[in-house]
């Protein structure tokens, strides 16, 4: 009892863009529970869904500036922050299953990337096993093959790798804030968007675009990160609790994401969305169509030589 | 929790606001108070929150429509549209007042930004109204209050946010929004009619419309009148986004200015300088307000208040009344969309538990948050309109009283007559 | 001296105006490229969001010069002339202190952005550059506010209330009565 009183309570904020009805947010609730329980109340956790504390960029910058905030970031993001090689996880059709990318996440290569993040960006990665979702494409007009995508304006997040990979398929990548997407889609300013199904359903885009292509161009494995200043203020034990609970909640997240994706798919079909499956052979075709992304990729994105081959060999191991 | 620091920040905000510190400095001061005395965050974040609040694509509509309004004035576009409006509304009491309301409703179809609408109409309509004998206060209040219609008529950012956060069909919210928007439009038109009659603003003439006069007015105004068609058409066909539509208006006004030979190079430069000054004065308040909203959210003030309120209510109707009061108070301090992101996930499930229809509750929520724009101390619509028209804020608030009563009646109406929100939706779906 | 003063006074406004022109042009041309040519600018959003900061903050001082910044003068109006003078000084000090802090912390933030070389994704514009107008603008607004205050104090002395300021004080009658 006496010890409890001496304890300094550490406030942690977990901030993300997803809404509370999405599986990721529910997994965060679980994580909060675990953190508070395992730390015996040393950690006090608050969740900030729906970009309440700002956009993803804003929150990352807050973390770097020393705020005790933990947020989501993926490979494309770290690539923008200067850890160029990390961007390879956003190469289209490079990964064909969660197993592929998880294998990479367990490799020494990944370990090295995390180290680079720590050295170069002022951020520390605390967890890497969360499935954000499989990124698919929702369009206003039917898309079956790469040639259908030619000239279509597809909304992508404002980052170089996703812009390039959509452009490589012959479409016209249109970065746009998510808030504008519903109206733009409704009125035909854009022809489609790409995102995990759960995010699509939460944003209600199925009301204004009726064709879903399950092309799985990216298996979006996301990481949680926090600022160095905050991380270094923790004791070794606290750091351990942070990473362990993150992983545990991640396992829970991956379970419910899978269920939620199935549910969302059902819901979309109920609302009149035509779902187009993409077979493995067709995926080969899509990968081939995105060839121009891979051409000179090492130079364009500042990757180390033969990065694609390195990653492919890790997956095949 | 550092709730007491937030409390001090609120006091400082009010003190500064009422003792004539510029509004944006007052809001900066409140946010700053928090950053200086809290522990845990780097105060450097205040710069990012102010900047981040300004960096929003939908908010770009503000400089665009301000600039368009200014160019429309100096290029002779406004003059021709106003002449046309005068001829058409000759037989109506308070003609230009009615035009003010209708224009906002029309603008609602192309822009989601109430601030952009208010700034533009304050620029082009209020001087004309004053010339016709309306008081500055009345013209300003009407401009600000009618700008509330803009986010209700689709497209509206508020409805998109609400729909995606509370998992309600955005399409249905859009339809319901038309109903509520038109309701507000009609109420305001009735209001304009009675006030104009009482004060003798633009009395209706009994004389018949002279077809020749109408013809010549139409002929003069034909190109300017194409502008709304061009813009709304452009959005509906998917050529431009509502934000980009503002630039189309600018370019069109410039072209007409050249055609009419009324636009001089010096007008363009002056217009741009004026746009910049007005944009800066509005957006700095928006940035500061966003920083302050961030502080409140981070310290979970609205969240805590919600818990207190929802835990002590047992009746659906009491709940609705309390929600109105609560949102009105919140709306006095936080901008509508920021408040929505925080409060919708907390309040919508409670409403659902009381068996309140989701569309009904959404409309009440969105409407009450819109009212926050015209209530002191932090009424962004007040600041925008008065910033442009240079109307005294005290006079503005005094003049607003009958409008507040009307808004209160509408709020109660929306709260207790669900059909006002759901009627149109049931008809369409 | 006066000439120099003028250039100094106009340069921020001109930067803001140029940024506005660029914003309008790229947005409009962006529509043409997306709709007519089917090749949207992927960098458009990034540049738009960068420009708006420059427009707003480079225009901040000019907004004071043209009295575009709103203030509520309800209570101020009730003070007698002497009280107004004191209040004006206090307000100017408050404005200075607030802007000084915001200036200081925004420099801090810019430093952090440069330290970790954080930049935008597509064009790699350093985020620190986007925020440079903030501290500069704070200092310029401070200076301009003191110039305004000095003018207002002079006007109060002259007791020509109607000259005071377009957006402030419509209650000339009341004030004259008080003076008499
Ligand atoms: Na109006
Ligand atoms: Na609207």
The pLDDT tens digits of the residues spanning B263-286 come to 889 999 999 999 999 999 889 988
Is the Cβ of A82 closer than 8 Å to some Cβ of chain C? yes
The separation between the first and the last C-alpha atoms of chain A, rounded to the nearest angstrom, is 52
- State the Cα–Cα distance between residues A20 and A18, nearest whole angstrom: 7
Is the Cβ of B54 closer than 8 Å to some Cβ of chain C? yes
pLDDT band at B233, cuts 50/70/90? confident
Distance B114 CA to ligand 2 centre (A): 8
Q: Is residue C180 part of a domain?
A: no
- State the Cα–Cα distance between residues B1 and B6, nearest whole angstrom: 10
Query: Inter-chain contact A153–C44, Cβ cutoff 8 Å?
Result: no
Q: Enumerate the residues of chain A whose CB falls inside 8 A of the CB of residue B155.
A: 183, 186
**Residues that place a CB less than 5 A from ion ligand 2:** B 108, 112, 153, 156
Query: Inter-chain contact A180–B48, Cβ cutoff 8 Å?
Result: no
Q: Enumerate the residues of chain B whose CB falls inside 8 A of the CB of residue A65.
A: 41-42, 44-45, 48
What are the C-alpha distances in Å from A43 to residues A242, A253, B4, B38? 9, 21, 21, 18
Q: How far out from the chain centre does Cα B393 lie?
A: 17
Query: Inter-chain contact A54–B240, Cβ cutoff 8 Å?
Result: no
By CB neighbour count within 10 A (0-12 exposed, 13-18 middle, 19+ buried), where does A95 fall?
A: buried
pLDDT band at B110, cuts 50/70/90? low
Angle between helices B136-147 and B380-389 (to 10 degrees): 140
pLDDT digits (tens, 9 = 90+) for B370-419: 998 899 887 889 988 998 899 988 899 999 999 999 999 999 999 999 99
pLDDT band at A7, cuts 50/70/90? low
List CB contacts of B163: < 8 A, sequence separation 6 or more.
Answer: A182, A204, B169, B170, B173, B362
What pLDDT sits at residue C167? 43
Q: Choose among C83, C105, C103: nearest CA to C95.
A: C103
Q: Which two tokens stand for residue B385?
A: 């309109």
Q: Is residue C175 part of a domain?
A: no
Q: Is the peptide bond before C127 cis (omega within 30 degrees of 0)?
A: no
List CB contacts of C152: < 8 A, sequence separation 6 or more.
Answer: C88, C164, C165
Is the CB of residue B157 less than 8 Å from the CB of residue B115?
A: no
What are the C-alpha distances in Å from B215 to residues A233, B209, B218, B225, C96? 77, 10, 5, 14, 58
Is the CB of residue C137 less than 8 Å from the CB of residue C58?
A: yes
Q: Which two tokens stand for residue C179?
A: 């003076």
Q: Enumerate the residues of chain A whose CB falls inside 8 A of the CB of residue C122.
A: 158-160, 163, 175
**Residue A10: helix, strand or coil by DSSP?**
strand
Query: Inter-chain contact B393–C74, Cβ cutoff 8 Å?
Result: yes
Domain residues for the domain of C118 are 2-168
pTM of the model as a whole: 0.88
Torsion sign over Cα C85, C87, C92, C97: positive
Q: Is residue C176 part of a domain?
A: no
Higher pLDDT, C171 or A138: A138
pLDDT band at B29, cuts 50/70/90? very high
What pLDDT sits at residue A78? 92
Q: Is residue C54 part of a domain?
A: yes
Q: Is residue C174 part of a domain?
A: no
Count the domains in chain C.
1
By CB neighbour count within 10 A (0-12 exposed, 13-18 middle, 19+ buried), where does A214 fall?
A: middle
Q: Choose among B310, B304, B421, B402: nearest CA to B361.
A: B421
Chain A: give the shortest CA distance to residue C113, in Å: 8
- Cα A91-A157-C107 angle, rounded to 5 deg: 110
Residue showing tokens 């490979």? A75
Q: Which residue of B has its CA nearest to A183?
A: B155
Higher pLDDT, A178 or B374: B374
What pLDDT sits at residue C4? 52
Is the pLDDT at C6 greater than 80, yes or no?
no
Q: Is residue C178 part of a domain?
A: no
Strand-pairing partners, residue C22, are: none
Report ipTM for this prediction: 0.88
Is the Cβ of B91 closer than 8 Å to some Cβ of chain A? no
DSSP E strands: which ranges in chain A? 10-15, 43-48, 69-73, 123-139, 153-156, 172-175, 192-196, 211-227, 274-277
Q: Which ligand is nearest to the CA of B181?
A: 2
Q: Enumerate the residues of chain A whose CB falls inside 8 A of the CB of residue B165.
A: 19-20, 50
Query: Inter-chain contact B297–A51, Cβ cutoff 8 Å?
Result: no
Residue showing tokens 């007559």? B417
- State the Cα–Cα distance between residues B2 and B388, nearest whole angstrom: 38
pLDDT digits (tens, 9 = 90+) for B284-343: 988 998 899 899 889 988 888 888 877 877 788 899 999 999 999 888 877 777 788 888
Q: Which residues of C119-157 are buried (b: 16+ CB within 10 A; e: fewer)?
A: bbbbeebebbbbbbbbbbbbebbbebbeebbeebeebbe
pLDDT band at C180, cuts 50/70/90? very low
Backbone φ and ψ for B58, nearest 5 degrees, come out as -60, -30
- State the Cα–Cα distance between residues C115 and C108, nearest whole angstrom: 10
- State the Cα–Cα distance between residues B142 and B127, nearest whole angstrom: 13
Query: Inter-chain contact A182–B58, Cβ cutoff 8 Å?
Result: no
Give long-range contacts, CB 8 A cutoff, 24+ apart: B322-325.
B323/B347, B323/B351, B323/B364, B323/B365, B323/B368, B324/B364, B324/B368, B324/B411, B324/B412, B324/B415
Is the pLDDT at C161 greater than 70, yes or no?
no
The torsion defined by the Cα of C117, C120, C122 and C124, in degrees rounded to 10, comes to: -40
Q: Is residue C51 part of a domain?
A: yes
pLDDT digits (tens, 9 = 90+) for A293-302: 998 899 999 9
Q: Is residue C27 part of a domain?
A: yes
pLDDT digits (tens, 9 = 90+) for A179-195: 789 988 998 999 999 99
Is the CB of residue B74 less than 8 Å from the CB of residue B271?
A: yes
């Amino acid at each position: 009892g006496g010890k409890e009183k001496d304890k300094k309570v550490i406030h942690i904020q977990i901030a993300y863009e997803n809404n509370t009805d999405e599986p990721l947010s529910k997994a965060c609730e679980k994580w909060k529970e675990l953190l508070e329980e395992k730390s015996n109340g040393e950690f006090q956790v608050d969740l900030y869904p729906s970009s309440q504390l700002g956009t993803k960029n804003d929150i990352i910058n807050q973390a770097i500036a020393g705020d005790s905030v933990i947020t989501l970031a993926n490979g494309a993001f770290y690539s923008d922050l200067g850890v160029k090689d990390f961007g390879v996880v956003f190469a289209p059709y490079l990964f064909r299953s969660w197993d592929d990318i998880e294998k990479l996440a367990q490799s020494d290569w990944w370990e090295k990337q995390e180290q680079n993040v720590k050295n170069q960006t002022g951020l520390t990665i605390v967890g890497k096993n969360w499935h954000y979702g499989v990124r698919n494409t929702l369009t206003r007009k039917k898309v079956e093959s790469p040639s259908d995508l030619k000239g279509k304006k597809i909304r992508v997040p404002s980052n170089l790798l996703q812009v390039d990979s959509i452009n490589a398929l012959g479409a016209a990548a249109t970065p746009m804030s998510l808030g504008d997407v519903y109206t733009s889609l409704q009125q035909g300013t854009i022809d489609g968007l790409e995102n995990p199904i759960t995010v699509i359903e939460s944003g209600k885009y199925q009301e204004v675009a009726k064709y879903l292509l399950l092309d799985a161009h990216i298996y979006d494995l996301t990481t949680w990160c926090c600022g160095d200043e905050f991380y270094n203020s923790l004791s070794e034990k606290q750091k351990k609790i942070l990473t362990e609970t993150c992983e545990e909640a991640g396992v829970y997240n991956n379970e419910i994401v899978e269920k939620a994706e199935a549910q969302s798919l059902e819901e979309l079909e109920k609302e009149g969305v035509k779902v187009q499956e993409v077979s493995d052979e067709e995926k080969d075709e899509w990968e081939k169509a995105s060839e121009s992304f891979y051409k000179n990729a090492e130079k364009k994105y500042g990757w180390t030589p033969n990065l694609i081959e390195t990653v492919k060999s890790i997956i095949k191991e | 929790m550092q709730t007491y620091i937030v409390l001090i920040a609120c006091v400082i905000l009010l003190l500064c606001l009422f003792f004539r510190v510029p509004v944006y400095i007052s809001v900066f001061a409140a946010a700053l108070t928090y950053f200086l005395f809290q522990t845990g965050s780097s105060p450097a974040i205040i710069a990012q929150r102010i900047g981040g609040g300004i960096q929003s694509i939908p908010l770009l509509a503000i400089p665009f429509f301000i600039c368009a309004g200014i160019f429309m004035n100096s290029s002779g576009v406004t003059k021709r549209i106003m002449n046309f409006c005068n001829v058409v509304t000759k037989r109506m009491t308070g003609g230009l007042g009615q035009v003010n309301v209708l224009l906002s409703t029309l603008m609602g179809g192309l822009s989601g930004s109430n601030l952009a609408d208010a700034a533009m109409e304050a620029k082009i309509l209020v001087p004309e109204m004053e010339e016709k004998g309306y008081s500055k206060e009345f013209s300003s209040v009407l401009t600000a209050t009618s700008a509330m219609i803009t986010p209700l008529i689709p497209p509206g950012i508020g409805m998109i946010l609400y729909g995606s956060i509370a998992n309600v069909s955005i399409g249905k919210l859009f339809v319901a929004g038309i109903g509520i928007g038109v309701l507000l439009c009609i109420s305001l038109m009735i209001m304009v009619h009675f006030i104009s009659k009482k004060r003798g603003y633009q009395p209706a003439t009994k004389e018949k419309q002279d077809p020749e006069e109408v013809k010549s007015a139409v002929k003069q105004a034909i190109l300017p009148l194409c502008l709304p068609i061009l813009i709304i058409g452009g959005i509906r066909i998917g050529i431009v986004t509502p934000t980009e539509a503002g630039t189309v208006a600018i370019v069109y006004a410039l072209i007409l200015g050249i055609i009419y030979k009324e636009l001089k190079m010096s007008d363009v430069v002056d217009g741009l300088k004026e746009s910049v000054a007005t944009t800066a004065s509005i957006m700095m308040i928006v940035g500061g307000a966003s920083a302050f909203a961030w502080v409140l959210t981070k310290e979970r003030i609205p969240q805590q208040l919600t818990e207190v309120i929802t835990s002590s209510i047992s009746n659906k109707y009491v709940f609705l009344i309390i929600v109105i009061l609560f949102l009105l108070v919140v709306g006095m301090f936080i901008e509508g969309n920021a408040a929505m992101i925080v409060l919708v996930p907390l309040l919508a499930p409670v409403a659902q538990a009381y068996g309140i229809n989701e569309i009904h509750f959404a409309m009440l929520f969105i409407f009450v948050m819109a009212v926050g724009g015209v209530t002191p101390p932090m009424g962004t619509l007040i600041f925008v309109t008065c910033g442009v028209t240079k109307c005294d804020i005290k006079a503005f608030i005094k003049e607003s009283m009958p409008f507040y009563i009307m808004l209160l009646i509408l709020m109660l109406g929306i709260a207790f007559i669900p059909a006002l929100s759901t009627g149109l939706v049931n008809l369409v779906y | 001296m006066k000439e120099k003063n003028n250039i100094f006074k106009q340069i921020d406004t001109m930067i803001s105006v140029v940024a506005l022109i660029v914003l309008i042009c790229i947005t409009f041309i962006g529509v043409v490229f997306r709709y007519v040519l089917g090749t949207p600018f992927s960098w458009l959003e990034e540049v738009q969001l960068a420009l708006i900061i420059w427009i707003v903050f480079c225009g901040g001082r000019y907004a004071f010069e043209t009295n575009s910044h709103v203030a509520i003068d309800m209570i101020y109006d009730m003070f007698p002339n002497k009280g107004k003078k004191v209040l004006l000084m206090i307000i100017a000090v408050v404005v200075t202190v607030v802007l000084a802090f915001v200036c200081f912390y925004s420099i801090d933030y810019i430093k952090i952005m440069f330290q970790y070389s954080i930049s935008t994704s597509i064009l790699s514009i350093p985020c620190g550059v986007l925020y440079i107008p903030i501290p500069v603008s704070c200092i310029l607004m401070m200076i301009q506010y003191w110039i305004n205050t000095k003018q207002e104090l002079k006007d109060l002395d002259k007791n020509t209330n109607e000259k005071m300021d377009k957006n402030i004080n419509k209650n000339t009658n009341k004030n004259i009565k008080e003076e008499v």
